Amino acid sequence: MKKISSIRIKPRFAAILKIFGFLIVLFLAIFIFYRYQISTLTKLEYSEEASNKILFSGYKRKVLDIGKSKTLNAAFESEYFKEKYLNNYAKIKYIEQDHLIENINKLLKVGYSNHEINIILSHGTSESVSEFAKRDKVRYLEEYFSYDFAKLENYDRYIQYSDETGEDELETILYINLNLDKPDYEYTELVKDFSIDMLINKHRNLGEDFVPEDLTTIPSEYAAENDFECSRLALNAFIEMNNAATKDGYSLIINSAYRSYQDQVDLVELYRRSYGDSYVEKYVALPGFSEHQTGLAFDIGSRRSNIFANSKEYIWMKDNAYKYGFVMRYDERYQDLTEFRKEPWHYRYVGKDIAKYIYEHNNMSLEEYFVIFLDK
Ligand SMILES: [Zn+2]
């Protein structure tokens, strides 16, 4: 009995083995074919997730024709993918932004072209783009947003200011990005960190507690009084500049340097009592809004002349201060941006790179430099 049954089982077992083997080979072949298909997409930098969707939704041919596209990849990864926008996704530049595909869909629905969407995305944040997509299609996109530093969120203010004043696009963007259309001392941004490129004005202020991190006493030989203080960086630069000035036969002196928040409170009070509100409004920054609190600003005088603007030292500073990292901060040419009248004596340490750039670009204001390069 035993013998017979073992003879019968053997061929049946062999048959099962054969089928099993065949299935394994079949699955393996399918798997290899599937991996090959996926690899044609991953080679074009589509993710595994996107590649799977592309493969199983039947867009492989089309995607291979299109080639690489980070935006298309993101679209296939997104639950908001819309078939009718596939060609748009492929032509819109990818940008690292939340809700990218959702926002692109909305903008396409409003009627913007791919080119216009590229402009909108590159000037906004996820939130500002999403807000922008809620409105009807707007005009003047190209005019304003050919400037890198134009901000999508400011669009309405650009149009309004330009309509009211007739200013050109560049002037308008500068003015609005600096929040100059908003009330002074009220619509402000608190600046917390010390840096040589920090911007303090009537819309960007320092807190009561802000003290420059490298505050140091100015040796009395450089200053009009004994207890003046400033940033160590600014002092080193001043000493270097003063040495050069002395060598050329000029004689500089620091008439005012770091002023604490409380110093400015006292100063404003003093001027208010002596000269009245309108004087303070015109000439004195309110506490927190004075550049002197940064420790990077100096009021510079000539030891030989009481009126600095009439001194030879003033002329020397105009030609040389930038070499040591200083800029004259307030000039009548751009007082609409600084909101201070000309102060020929007020110099600000910004470092040699920025000072050189400003000098080589028609002595632009620090405000302008900030909008173009620093306000990201
Ligand atoms: Zn000053």
pLDDT tens digits, 310-368: 999 999 999 999 999 999 999 999 999 999 989 999 999 999 999 999 999 999 999 99
Statement to judge: residues 332 and 220 lie in one domain: yes
Q: Return the H-helix or E-strand segment holding 65.
A: helix 60-66
pTM attached to this predicted model: 0.84
Q: Whole-angstrom Cα distance, residue 211 to residue 232?
A: 12
d(CA 310, CA 344): 10
User: What is the distance in A from the centroid of ligand 1 to the CA of 215?
Assistant: 17
- The string of pLDDT tens digits covering residues 38-57 is 888 999 999 999 999 998 88
Q: How far apart are CA 192 and CA 254, in angstroms?
A: 26
Range(s) of the domain holding residue 362: 189-374
Quote the distance between the C-alpha of residue 128 and its chain's center: 15
What is the DSSP secondary structure assignment for residue 124, as one 8-state letter?
S
What is the distance in A from the centroid of ligand 1 to the CA of 82?
59
Domain end call among 152, 177, 202? 177
Q: How far is residue 36's CA from residue 30's CA, in Å, rounded to a whole number?
A: 10
- Same domain assignment for residues 151 and 300: no
For residues 269 and 347, membership in a common domain is answered with yes
How wide is the angle at C-alpha 363 spanned by C-alphas 292 and 244, nearest 5°? 70
Whether residue 322 sits in one domain with residue 283: yes
- Percent pLDDT > 70 in the chain is 98
- Residue 209 — φ and ψ, nearest 5°? -90, -5
Give the C-alpha separation, 292 to 264, whole Å.
9
Residues 213 and 108 in one domain: no
Residues 110 and 89 in one domain: yes
Domains contained in the chain, number: 3
- Dist. CA 141 → ligand 1 center (Å): 40
Rounded distance between C-alpha atoms, residue 372 and residue 376, angstroms: 9
Residue 53 lies in a domain: no
pLDDT at 155: 94
Letter for the amino acid at 370? F
Q: Are 169 and 144 in contact (CB under 8 A)?
A: yes
CATH of the domain at 320: 3.30.1380.10
Query: Is 48 exposed, middle or buried (CB count within 10 Å of its CB: 0-12, 13-18, 19+)?
Result: exposed
Residues 302, 308: contact at Cβ < 8 Å? yes
| Statement to judge: residues 308 and 361 lie in one domain | yes
DSSP state of 136: P
Residues noted as catalytic: 343
The per-residue pLDDT for range 288-311, each reduced to its tens digit, is 999 999 999 999 999 988 899 899
Please tell me what DSSP assigns to residue 223. Answer: B
Q: Answer whether residue 272 is part of any domain.
A: yes
Please report whether residue 202 resides in a domain.
Answer: yes
In a domain, residue 28? The reply is: yes
CA–centroid distance, 299 to ligand 1, in Å, is: 5
Q: Among 132, 149, 177, give the residue marking a domain's end.
A: 177
> Above 90 in pLDDT, residue 1?
no
Q: Which residues contact 303 (CB under 8 A, 6 or more apart)?
A: 251, 252, 253
285, exposed or middle or buried, with CB in 10 Å at 0-12, 13-18, 19+? buried
Residue 119 C-alpha to ligand 1 middle, in angstroms? 41
* Cα–ligand 1 centroid distance for 376 (angstroms): 27
Half-sphere CA count of 157, side-chain side, radius 13 A = 17
Whether 238 and 198 map to the same domain: the answer is: yes
Computed over every residue of the chain, the mean pLDDT equals: 93
Q: What spacing in Å lies between the alpha carbon of 167 and ligand 1's midpoint?
A: 30
Asked if residue 56 belongs to a domain, the reply is no
Token pair listed for 357: 């750039």
Of 59, 57, 64, the closest CA to residue 39 belongs to 64
